[in-house]
A and B are shown apart, each in its own frame.
Chain A
Amino acid sequence: MTSPPPLETHGLSRENLLEIDYFLRLTRTLEERIVALFRQAKVIGGLYRSLGQEGESVAAAYALDYALGDVVQPLIRNMGSILVAGARPSDIIKQYMAKGDSPTRGRELNIHFGHPERDGFIGQISMLGDMIPVMAGIVLAGRMQKRNLVGLAFIGDGASSTGAFYEGMNFATVQKLPLVVVLENNGYAYSTPTVKQSALKSLADKAHAFGCASETVDGNDVLATYAAANRAVERGRAGEGVTLIEVKTFRMKGHAEHDNQSYVPPELIEEWSAKDPVVRFEQTLIEAGMASAADFESIQSRARRDVDAATDEAERSPMPRPEEAALGLYAGDGYWEEQR
């Protein structure tokens, strides 16, 4: 018997690796729960799955140091990233259910919430691309405040076609800001394949337009994604500016729950199913002798317990009072200062 070759963990301890696995399992379990709630008509708005993209969402966000004030900005398919940053599953379910004690008190949907300083994450707005300039401003403020914080923004292959993306990337690079941009090339933007978004073979080549660092990584390889994000975060923290990371991954579900993705060739789904990031990560750890199937079973049970508790809490929560709709637009009415 020969022992397996040592696994390159990029400085992650066994404890770290198991924590990453917890976030992967938590993301998937929480999403499956939200699907169940959606089918029970308890989710008010749309539901956007991240199946197949949990690996890069969790791994990239895991490279940040939230104690230093780092900020992650998810897109709709990066729920895993805000769980890493500390978002509570109950808050996410309450958001989906439009509850009055959700973080946005029923004003916003799904993962459109979070304050960069208070929470370490900030929800996107739906005008895709806009968050790149906003994230540039967040890390610009960090630099002005002499805090050595780094920002990490997710953007899709589709959103990287917007003017806001180009303006934000260009400004951030010129200013040498500590910003990491994870460009998720997941094959489709709604129904539009990446080849109709861009004629580039590699979306990482967009970096040439700005003069920032870039690399491409297999987004279904958790450790490789973590390593790339970690390099980029270190570069940002050292004052070396922006990094664009293209993660190659695949959107395993339609744009939203109503979309049966009939436009996606079935063989592509089959091909990418075999590359499931969670299964692959766990298999890698087992093969390296760093974890056992029993470890993962226990992590899965913990994730399920946490999601059960979160669901109970969210289901018990009240809807907002209708007349609250008139409050909280400007400072001075005390609406947001009132504790929930």
Chain B
Amino acid sequence: MPETTYLEAIREAMIEEMRRDPRVFLIGEDVGVYGGAFKTSAGMIEEFGAERVIDTPISEVAIVGAASGAALMGMRPIAEMQFIDFITVAYDMLVNFAATSRYRVGSPCPIVIRGPAGGGTHGGPFHSLNPEAMFMNRPGLKIVAPGTAYDAKGLLKAAIRDDDPVLFIEHKYLYRRIKEELPAEDYIVPIGKANIRRSGSDLTIITWGSMIYVADDAAAELAKDGVSVEVIDLRSIIPFDEEAILNSVAKTNRVIILHEAPLTGGAGAEFAARIAEKAFDYLDAPIKRVAALDVPTPYSPPLEAFYLPNRDKVLAAARELLAY
């Protein structure tokens, strides 16, 4: 079996869903003739035509707004943000219109908003966002952030088939760096279900997106010292798999929450609070968070490397917890 990249997995998911369901279409900047800034939609306009692969003006509000309007009419739009950072321009439309539509007036608004997120690619302050936390406190959205090609394809299909709006955060550092053999047959990865990437008994690392590989590296290093680390790839941020988190903490009694977004007010704060509320008695040490610095993402490689979480930061946190 040939291997499929993370980016190709996203493309395949869109193509297969558009073949399966005539209600699905793609709308965004440069997604058509050019095939997307990262070539995520290469060849799609040739297969589906300009009516279903819609090139728009530089207008994120119009993209998310038009997708929302079409969704109310029974369509299943996929709206691409050229970089996920630009969703901040359409934040209003997404959180006030799309996310609230079902709750406010009983009108389902099943859109998928997807786009390249994350740092490590020297994109600088405006092309490196990890947006999950800024949407977590706005009920009505689902938020997923796959870290593998398998999950990227399966979660995107699940998102497109979902009856509610889904923010699909794809990590652009992984686009061409990750390759996996994928099943030939149709599959989905259910939204809200974590994946236990590595089973362990001494320490849990809860993470998602590209940080799963940082967690893997740290776990491998700790294994050399005889420390057994459990790595949980959350995959879905909203709704999140509370059961998987609590079960793991009950087993290992020590937990690190690792995410690429800045620390303060990050998604990790919510997971930490949930653990403190529901699994306090199982903890043998404080809950640790490893995250980016509380600054915008800097451009220059040494600055960005210092800013981002990495294996050594995780190891330092782990050793502190193990010695507690």
A contacts, CB < 8 Å to B: 103-105, 107-108, 112-117, 122-123, 125-127, 130, 132-142, 144-145, 163-164, 167-168, 170-171, 174-175, 328-332, 336
A168 vs B73: C-alpha distance in the bound complex, in angstroms? 17
**Hey, which chain A residues are within 8 Å of B227, CB to CB?**
none
Type the 1/0 row for B78-103, where 1 means its CB is closer than 8 Å to any CB of A: 00000000000000110011001011
Given that A140-B66, A141-B69 are known contacts, is A336 also in contact with B61, CB under 8 Å in the complex? no
| A112 pairs with B105, CB closer than 8 A | yes
**Hey, which chain B residues are within 8 Å of A138, CB to CB?**
69-70, 72-73
| A117 pairs with B74, CB closer than 8 A | yes
A140 vs B62: C-alpha distance in the bound complex, in angstroms? 12
Given that A122-B72, A141-B74 are known contacts, is A134 also in contact with B65, CB under 8 Å in the complex? yes
A sample of 22 cross-chain residue pairs with beta-carbon separation below 8 angstroms, ordered by A number, consists of: A105-B106, A107-B105, A112-B105, A122-B72, A130-B96, A130-B97, A132-B65, A133-B66, A136-B66, A137-B68, A141-B74, A142-B73, A144-B75, A145-B74, A164-B65, A167-B61, A168-B61, A168-B62, A168-B65, A170-B57, A330-B102, A330-B163
**Hey, which chain A residues are within 8 Å of B224, CB to CB?**
none
**Hey, which chain A residues are within 8 Å of B62, CB to CB?**
133, 136, 164, 167-168, 170-171
| A167 pairs with B59, CB closer than 8 A | yes
Any A CB within 8 A of the CB of B104: yes
A130 vs B66: C-alpha distance in the bound complex, in angstroms? 10
Q: Which of B31-89 contact A (CB under 8 A)?
A: 51-52, 54, 56-57, 59-75, 77
**Hey, which chain A residues are within 8 Å of B199, CB to CB?**
none
**Hey, which chain B residues are within 8 Å of A117, CB to CB?**
72-74
Contact of B70 among A103, A144, A336 (CB under 8 A): A144
A141 vs B77: C-alpha distance in the bound complex, in angstroms? 10
| B105 pairs with A141, CB closer than 8 A | no
Chain A, Cβ-Cβ closest to B95: A127
| B105 pairs with A113, CB closer than 8 A | yes
Q: Which of B142-169 contact A (CB under 8 A)?
A: 142, 162-164
**Hey, which chain A residues are within 8 Å of B61, CB to CB?**
130, 133, 163-164, 167-168
**Hey, which chain B residues are within 8 Å of A103, CB to CB?**
105-106
B136 to chain A, nearest CB (A): 14
Interface residues on B, range: 35 or more
| A137 pairs with B57, CB closer than 8 A | no
Most B CB within 10 A of own CB, among A112, A113, A116, A164: A164
A108 vs B51: C-alpha distance in the bound complex, in angstroms? 34
Chain B, Cβ-Cβ closest to A118: B107
A164 vs B90: C-alpha distance in the bound complex, in angstroms? 9
A304 vs B72: C-alpha distance in the bound complex, in angstroms? 35
B113 to chain A, nearest CB (A): 13
Chain B, Cβ-Cβ closest to A151: B69
**Hey, which chain A residues are within 8 Å of B162, CB to CB?**
331
Any A CB within 8 A of the CB of B139: yes
Contact of A328 among B51, B75, B106, B163 (CB under 8 A): B106
Any A CB within 8 A of the CB of B140: yes
A130 vs B164: C-alpha distance in the bound complex, in angstroms? 20
Any A CB within 8 A of the CB of B208: no
| B72 pairs with A336, CB closer than 8 A | no
Any A CB within 8 A of the CB of B131: no
Chain B, Cβ-Cβ closest to A162: B61
| A137 pairs with B66, CB closer than 8 A | yes
A330 vs B109: C-alpha distance in the bound complex, in angstroms? 10
Given contacts A137-B71, A171-B63, list 20 more A-B pairs with CB under 8 A: A108-B104, A115-B107, A126-B96, A127-B93, A127-B96, A130-B61, A133-B64, A133-B65, A134-B65, A134-B69, A137-B72, A138-B73, A164-B61, A164-B93, A168-B62, A168-B65, A171-B56, A330-B140, A330-B163, A330-B164
